[in-house]
């Protein structure tokens, strides 16, 4: 008699001690609920103000860099999503009297539709494009930033994205993301509750943390691809920041380099 087939093995859920590259965010599905997606992208404005740390990065990195140019600058937010981060940075630069052209680029038409609601003619514009499109068009910027992009990428896409970001920038590159930790996971699970209704914020936020790197992990990955060109630090709790600038390519450490 033939024995019955064995039941399928249960899916393995990785702990937070290692990065979970198998889990996928709901909003990355082209067939996800469009209303919940739009609500999520719009509500990122509040979430990013609370947790992304760009206010401090602007004060310590971006403002000194832009002011040091002593001329109008061009800045790109690569993978801008709903556009809230680049609009916030633009407002801070305008407040400080810094002349800047800001561009938000994302290959997802759904994201650009929401971002376009925030467009400020003459200051911030949005375009549907990825890094390859921008390079092919001959675009160059003084500064390239991204927020919460790196954890979405597999190894090959991460190498391509970071290399393209350096090619697009004649100066500084800053990639901000989540730093994976058990404490970040627990605090987010509770803290996001008031904002989650009608969105993907809770599910995708927790999955994002599981997919994210620690600063040491990301430093090893970027260092293996391009030794000496990237420095990864922790600019705020539960945050990481990958920075590249021309001085790093020669091994020179300047005053504005990462402290952590």
Task: Report the alpha-carbon distance of residue 80 to residue 145 in Å, rounded.
Answer: 9
Strand partners, 214: none
Long-range (24+ apart) CB contacts under 8 A made by 32-38 are: 32/200, 34/110, 35/198, 36/198, 36/199, 36/200, 37/110, 37/200, 38/110, 38/113, 38/114
Q: pLDDT tens string for the chain (260 positions)?
A: 444 443 333 333 557 899 999 999 999 999 999 999 999 999 999 999 999 999 999 999 999 999 999 999 999 999 999 999 999 999 999 999 999 999 999 999 999 999 999 998 889 999 999 999 999 999 999 999 999 999 999 999 999 999 999 999 999 999 999 999 999 999 999 999 999 999 999 999 999 999 999 999 999 999 987 788 999 999 999 999 999 998 665 433 333 344 43
**137 CB neighbour count, 10 Å cutoff:** 10
CA distance 96 to 67: 9
CA 98 to chain centre: 23
Which 8-state DSSP code applies to residue 140?
-
Helices (H), the chain: 34-51, 54-57, 63-69, 84-95, 109-115, 131-136, 155-168, 182-191, 201-211, 215-225
The number of angstroms, rounded, from the C-alpha of 61 to the middle of its chain's C-alpha atoms is 16
């Amino acid at each position: 008699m033939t024995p019955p087939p064995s039941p399928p093995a249960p899916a393995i859920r990785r702990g937070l001690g290692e990065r979970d590259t198998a889990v996928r965010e709901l909003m990355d599905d082209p067939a996800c609920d469009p209303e919940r997606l739009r609500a999520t992208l719009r509500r990122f404005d509040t979430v990013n103000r609370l947790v992304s740390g760009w206010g401090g990065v602007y004060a310590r990195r971006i403002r000194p860099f832009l002011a040091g140019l002593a001329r109008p600058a061009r800045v790109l937010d690569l993978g801008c999503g709903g556009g809230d981060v680049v609009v916030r940075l633009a407002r801070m630069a305008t407040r400080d009297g810094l002349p800047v052209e800001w561009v938000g680029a994302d290959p997802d038409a759904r994201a650009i539709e929401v971002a376009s609601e925030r467009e400020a003619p003459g200051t911030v514009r949005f375009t549907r494009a990825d890094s390859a499109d921008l390079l092919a068009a001959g675009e160059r910027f003084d500064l390239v930033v991204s927020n919460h992009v790196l954890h979405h990428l597999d190894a090959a896409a991460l190498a391509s994205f970071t290399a393209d970001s350096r090619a697009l920038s004649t100066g500084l590159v800053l990639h901000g993301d989540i730093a994976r930790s058990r404490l970040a996971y627990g605090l987010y699970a509770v803290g996001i509750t008031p904002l989650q209704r009608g969105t993907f914020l809770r599910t995708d936020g927790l999955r994002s943390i599981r997919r994210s790197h620690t600063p040491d992990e990301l430093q090893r990955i970027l260092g293996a691809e391009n030794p000496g060109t990237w420095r990864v630090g922790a600019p705020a709790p539960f945050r990481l920041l990958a920075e590249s600038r021309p001085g790093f390519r020669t091994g020179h450490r300047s005053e504005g380099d990462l402290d952590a």
